[in-house]
Amino acid sequence: MVRHTNVTRRSFLKASTGVALGAIGFPHIVSSATLGRSGAVAASERIAVGCVGTGPQGTYDMRNFLNQKDCRVMAICDLKAPVREATQNLVNDYYKNKDCATYTDYRELIARKDIDVVLIATCDHWHVLVALEAARAGKDIYVEKPMGLSLAEDQALRAACRQYGTRFQFGTQQRSERNFRFACELVKNKRIGELKTINVWSPGSTSGGPRNVAQPPQWIDYNMWLGPAPYHAYTPGRESNSWWWFISDYALGFIAGWGVHPLDIALWGLGDKIPCPLEIEGKGQWPDPNGVCDTAVNWNVTCKLDNGITMNFTGAPFPEEWKKRYGRTTDHGTAFEGTDGWVHVDRSGLNAHPKELLDIKWGPNDTQLYESSNHARNLLDCVRSRKDTICPIEVAVQADTLCQISDIAIRTEQKLRWDPAKEQFVNNDVANRRLVRAMRSPWRL
């Protein structure tokens, strides 16, 4: 397997850390600097990071890497000149130098042999193409959620990560928070009895958006921004976070863009993969056709798994009965219901019935899940160790699949049967055709 020279440094980091840990059987002699936990990390041992897409979410993720002493943000790429300049200034101010390079073509950043990790936080329709380029160049990757606009894109990236040994971190950062892990551990250890129902909800999508054609701003390469998406004349603000999230050429809307977070936690409680065949059906509420947004504003999806578990997935507003049952609810969450109780978790907290569940302390015979307290830190540790991250590519594809088949269910308004082993719908060509999406030439997987 051919690798760029940056992997030589990565291999050195892994080997040197491993030797130090094993030296004479005394791990206490290893300095914090050797492990990358202080500011005394030699430049040759730092993990070099390049960032592609540095809007609000990309900058948030990038700051997480900036705060890690054993890595260095070396370069950024963004198609929007004001964003590019602001991010470069942020990085240079942080390091007190002028070293951060900027690019408008992600391929030039990825081609740098000194880059080890690529953070990808572009618009959704670019995620997989950029990640494929990085994986094939021997880089490890952090990819913001959701992953692809079709299951075929997800499958292509999974194949590439397997082929090139890529360490992959998916941007479902809730897995790096204690409450979400503990809620899933309660389920895994059957402290709520036999799992029967999972209720999942997230914010709904936005409608509207100007439809009048205008000239693209001079500060963006609009054709490159469109990339693999179908050509569409520019409309005001089309490239902004206010609208592109909810235009199906570039995203699936919040059924995936936000919904993947609570769905991923549902999946964690189930065991990281869709456990068996299922039936899925649902309906969506669609936006006013007078705007550019065309993804579902709201949805109600029901999955009936062959193992007897039912999963309900909706956009806000969610049923009033859930508010009454769980007592404290926000616009997102995952609730597991079993024969002996329930546990509900979101970013504002954790609650359960009976409440004594929240005081449980795990013993040596209990199932405890992968523990991470920081998503960026976890990836960097895995770059060194070559272990799987807390949300590796296999798990990411599963979470994305739940989003994909939910969107297809509300668009077809049919009861569909999903075969997770074959990753396709059973005897439904119409639904299966939606698992693949064409790309505008010359872009291709």
Q: How far apart are CA 212 and CA 13, in angstroms?
A: 54
The structure tokens 């950029």 sit at 130
Q: Per residue in 110-130, pLDDT tens?
A: 999 999 999 999 999 999 999
Residue 312 — very low, low, confident or very high, per pLDDT cuts 50/70/90?
A: very high
**What contacts 436, CB < 8 A, 6 or more positions away?**
150, 151, 152
Alpha carbons 187 and 26: distance in angstroms, whole number: 38
Instruction: Report how far residue 9's alpha carbon sits from residue 434's, in angstroms, rounded to the nearest whole number.
Output: 42
Q: What is the mean pLDDT of residues 125-144?
A: 98
Structure tokens that stand for 244 in this block: 């592109």
Q: State the number of CA atoms in the 13 A half-sphere of 45 facing the CB.
A: 20
Asked whether 229 and 91 are in contact (CB, 8 A), the reply is: no
pLDDT over 80 (residue 28): no
In the predicted structure, residue 2 carries a pLDDT above the cut 50: no
Name, in order, each residue with C-beta under 8 angstroms of 328's C-beta and a sequence gap of 6 or more. 344, 348, 349, 351
Per-residue model confidence as pLDDT tens digits over 38-52: 445 787 789 999 999
Closest CA to 73 of 95, 49, 93, 92: 49
For the chain, list the domains and their CATH numbers.
Answer: 6-173 (3.40.50.720), 175-366+394-433 (3.30.360.10)
Q: Which among 193, 188, 402 is positioned nearest to 278, based on CA atoms?
A: 402
Q: What's the pLDDT band for 430 if we cut at 50, 70, 90?
A: very high
- Residue 332: pLDDT band (50, 70, 90) is very high
pLDDT value at residue 44: 78
Mean pLDDT calculated for residue range 274-288: 97
pLDDT at 210 over 80: yes
Mean pLDDT along residues 227-255:
97
- The Cα–Cα gap between 307 and 313 comes to 18
Residue 399 clears pLDDT 60, i.e. is over it: yes
Structure tokens at 88: 């470069």
> At 5, is the pLDDT very low, low, confident or very high (cuts 50, 70, 90)?
very low
This prediction's pTM: 0.91
**Exposure string for 247-263, b = 16+ CB within 10 A, e = fewer:** bbbbbbbbbbbbbbbbb
Which whole number is the average pLDDT over 91-97?
98
* DSSP for 194-252, written as a single string: SEEEEEEEE---------S--PPPTTB-HHHHHTTSPP----TTTTSTTTGGG-TTT--
User: Does the pLDDT value for residue 69 go beyond 80?
Assistant: yes
Question: What's the average model confidence in pLDDT over 182-196?
Answer: 98
For residue 345, give both structure tokens.
């978790």
Q: If you average pLDDT over residues 24-50, what whole number do you get?
A: 57
Cβ atoms of 36 and 380 within 8 Å: the answer is: yes
The mean predicted confidence, pLDDT, of the chain is: 92
What is the average per-residue pLDDT within 360-373? 97
Q: Are 85 and 107 in contact (CB under 8 A)?
A: no
Q: Which residues contact 25 (CB under 8 A, 6 or more apart)?
A: none
Q: pLDDT at position 318, please?
A: 82
Alpha-carbon torsion 87, 71, 107, 436, what sign?
negative
Residue range 310-318: mean pLDDT, rounded: 92
DSSP category for residue 318: P
Read off φ and ψ for residue 294, nearest 5 degrees.
-140, 15
How sure is the predictor about 11, in pLDDT bands with cuts at 50, 70 and 90? low
For range 377-393, the mean pLDDT = 98
Give Cβ neighbours of residue 70 (< 8 Å, ≥ 6 apart): 35, 36, 37, 41, 45, 46, 47, 380
Q: What single DSSP character describes residue 311?
A: E
Confidence of residue 392 (pLDDT cuts 50, 70, 90): very high
Q: Is beta strand 342-346 parallel, antiparallel or unpaired with respect to 333-338?
A: antiparallel
Task: Return the ∠ at Cα 164 (arms to 135 and 388), rounded to 5°.
Answer: 90
Cβ contact 116:140 at 8 Å: yes
Residues of the chain with pLDDT > 70, as a percent, come to: 91
Kindly state the helix (H) or strand (E) to which residue 22 belongs, with its residue range. Answer: helix 6-22
CA angle 173, 178, 182 (to 5 degrees): 115
* Beta bridge pairs of residue 197: 310, 337
* DSSP β-bridge partners for residue 333: 201
Question: CA angle, 379 as apex, 172 and 261 as ends, to 5°?
Answer: 5
With cut-offs at 50, 70 and 90, classify the pLDDT of residue 317: confident
Assess whether pLDDT exceeds 80 at residue 22. no
